[in-house]
Structure 1
Amino acid sequence: MKSAPSTISDPDQQIIDAYLDAVWMEKGLSEATLSSYRQDLLGLARWGFSQSLTLLAMTDADLRCYLAYRLTEQGASARSTARFLSCSRGFYAHWLRENRIVTDPTALIESPRQGRPLPKSLSEADVEALLAAPDLEEAIGLRDRTMFEVLYACGLRVSELVGLTLSDVNLRQGVVRVVGKGGKERLIPLGDEAVSWLLRYAREARPQLLKQSHDILFPSGRGQPMTRQTFWYRIKHWAMVAGIEKPLSPHTLRHAFATHLINHGADLRVVQLLLGHSDLSTTQIYTHVAIERMKSLHGEHHPRG
């Protein structure tokens, strides 16, 4: 497999930087998203440099050649190609609005069709086993149990969970304020069970874990804000204790939250709001999970299944 060219022109570097600055100002994208955009555009610019082309001079034919290069020389997947085209469309649409180009070279290029993988989830029995696993005699165990309860009750992203502060939680009203992707805020109901565990945790465990005054809701064992990696290790540990052998991550409980809501009849748009999805199509994948569940139950219990 050939390696990609490693050099780009100064004008292309400047045009990429200018675009990323503009899109960050307009949309408030996360560092991870901006980094992904940068890598996609740098890949195109490096290939263009090897062909004596600059980004703003490329035609749709040039982009098709690059897509073929990605496929044959780099083994790019349909998912990766679709992501690249999404980034490129935004890039060229921006410079078209700025009158730096007269035609959009991505306009006639279709994204590849790709099957959407079903998210890995847990059964309700698996979730109950995981929730019951932490040792409640230890402050860390009570903290972990409370984090699991909040994660499953609210369907949070792990970054949203570990970033919660005391001021984000209103136990009187039973809601939590979450700042999600792009700085968008949403209010999510906690439910009586999660509120009960938060009250117990605040009374019995959090004061033991804090080494100094801090607003963070779930401090680490050292009394500092917890990292996503630390929580990942905690959930893996308790899954092992619970005897859960399925692949597991903090995101798995988010998937379980959405899947179990839909299995019990929740409206798809309500689940979309709770998850903080900007597009309903992102949430619709959970209907496929529910359908697979119904098929399984039909095959297991119907006399003609």
Structure 2
Amino acid sequence: MVVEINHFIIYLREIKKTSKNTEVSYQRDLMQLASFLGQQGIVEVGKVTKTSLNSYILYLEKAGRATTTISRTLASMKAFFHYECTQGNIGKDPAELIKAPKVEKKEPIILTVDEVNCLLSQPDGETPKEFRDRAMLELLYATGIRVSELINLKKSDVNLTVGYITCKDEHKERMIPFGKVSKLALSAYMERGREHLLKEQDCECLFTNCNGRPMSRQGFWKIVKFYGDKAGIKADITPHSLRHSFAAHLLRNGADIHVVQAMLGHSDMATTQMYMNYAQKEAVRRVYTGVHPRG
């Protein structure tokens, strides 16, 4: 199966033009599946059945894997076996009728404005690392971009004069404004932090780790976790929490939902709508608190 999986990954990269993150995710899921099936004596794609795939799903459930993880794994399996079927490598798609487990939708973690301010104020030193951390946190909250977009930003994607960043993916490009505070943080990082972190290495990425190499998702997650703990924030925040908070705070303050959708890069309005629901709840609470005798 390993050879077929590698061919599938090449197909995703060269034909489908999927993102690097999607490619890595699919490869990881499918290699884990191949390892499990190999232990069952199934090493050929044509020998895989619906029963063997259901056994793997059951194995993941017993191992305590989250339903979101299992659903993502199933999506990888379906894409792979559909590809194998269309290529004529197998006569029947064994994953076609397998259903994904129901995923419980969790409320997004949305910080208050005070919590965001407290978090962003934590990297207050004058070291290159703190200049970088402050710039990354400020830019993430100012623009609401995804973590993958943040760590993949190039220096050329930032226009400090106009106050815009350009985010690109395999399908489209969008320009997102940022404000004065982010501009100051970015300027300080560019002038007093980035060159020190680069250590004379050649790296196009705007943000690097302390060795002058591109920042990883895990590396930035640790940064957010560190400053969240330092700020005393009780919620289990992640980098995505700042994206959630960005959208919710804009909508609560009257931003047009279509503009927020465009800045977030959502293709489906329903995804942006969940932040509107939060904004409406907050508006009701503010009215209630302001007018009720015991508010």
210-219 or 79-88, which moves further after superposition? 210-219
Q: Distance in 2 between matches of 1:266 and 1:226?
A: 32
Aligned amino acid, residue 151 of structure 1: L
2:80 is aligned with 1:91: yes
1:188 aligned residue: 176
RMSD value, Cα? 3.8
Percent identity, aligned pairs only, is 36
Report the AA paired with residue 112 of structure 2.
Answer: S
Corresponding residue number in structure 2 for 1:198: 186
Q: CA deviation at 1:123?
A: 0.7
Q: CA separation in 2, counterparts of 1:220 and 1:175? A: 23
Q: What is the CA distance between 1:177 and its match in structure 2?
A: 1.6
1:56 counterpart (46, 50, 58): 46
The amino acid across from 1:198 in the alignment is: L
Counterpart code for 1:186? R
Alignment counterpart, residue 126 of structure 1, candidates 106, 115, 122: 115
Q: Is the 8 A contact 1:45 1:55 kept in 2?
A: no
- Aligned mates of 2:10, 2:290 — CA distance in 1: 57
Query: For residues 218 and 36 of structure 2, what CA distance do their matches in structure 1 show?
Result: 35
- Aligned equivalents of 1:121, 1:149: Cα separation in 2: 16
Q: Which runs of 5+ in 1 are unaligned?
A: 1-11
CA contact (8 A) 1:236 1:248 kept: yes
Match of 2:200 among 212, 232, 249: 212
> 1:186 aligns to what SS in structure 2?
strand
1:273-292 to 2 correspondences below 5 Å: 273-290=262-279
- Equivalent pair of 1:168/1:177 in contact (CA under 8 Å): yes
Q: 1:126 to 1:23 in 2, by over 3 A?
A: same
Structure 1 residues 221 and 302: alpha-carbon distance in aligned structure 2, compared to 1, 3 A threshold = same
C-alpha distance in 1 between matches for 2:199 and 2:21? 31
Q: 1:242 to 1:85 in 2, by over 3 A?
A: closer
Q: Which stretch shifts more, 111-120 or 134-143? A: 134-143
Give the structure 1 partner of residue 237 of structure 2: 248
Cα displacement (A) at 1:216: 4.7
User: Which whole-Å CA distance do the structure 1 matches of 2:208 and 2:59 have between them?
Assistant: 48
Instruction: Give, as a single letter, the amino acid of the residue that structure 2 aligns with 1:191.
Output: G
> What is the one-letter code of the residue matched to 1:55?
V
- Name the counterpart of 1:111: 100
Moved over 6 A (4+): none
| Count of residues in correspondence between the two structures | 292
Deviation of the 1:23 alpha carbon: 1.8
How many angstroms apart in 2 are the aligned matches of 1:43 and 1:211? 38
Corresponding position: 1:148 with 2:152: no
Q: Which of these residues, 247, 252, 258, is aligned with residue 258 of structure 1?
A: 247
Structure 1 distance, partners of 2:195, 2:13, is 39
Distance, in Å, in 1 between the alignment partners of 2:42 and 2:121 is 62
Q: CA deviation at 1:152?
A: 1.0
Q: Which runs of 5+ in 2 are unaligned?
A: none
- What TM-score, normalized to structure 2? 0.76
User: Does residue 21 of the first structure (1) align with residue 10 of the second (2)?
Assistant: yes
CA distance in structure 1 between the aligned counterparts of 2:43 and 2:212, rounded to whole angstroms: 53
Residue-by-residue CA offset, 1:211-263 (whole Å, 9 max, x unaligned):
43755544556666555555445444544554434333333222211221232
* TM-score, L = length of structure 1: 0.74
Quick one: which amino acid aligns to residue 271 of structure 1? Answer: V
Deviation at 1:154, TM superposition (A): 0.9
Distance, in Å, in 1 between the alignment partners of 2:260 and 2:91 is 42
Alpha carbons of structure 1 residues 217 and 40: separation in structure 2 relative to 1, 3 Å? closer
Counterpart among 130, 144, 164 of residue 175 in structure 1: 164
Counterparts of 2:283 and 2:101 in 1: how far apart (Å)? 30
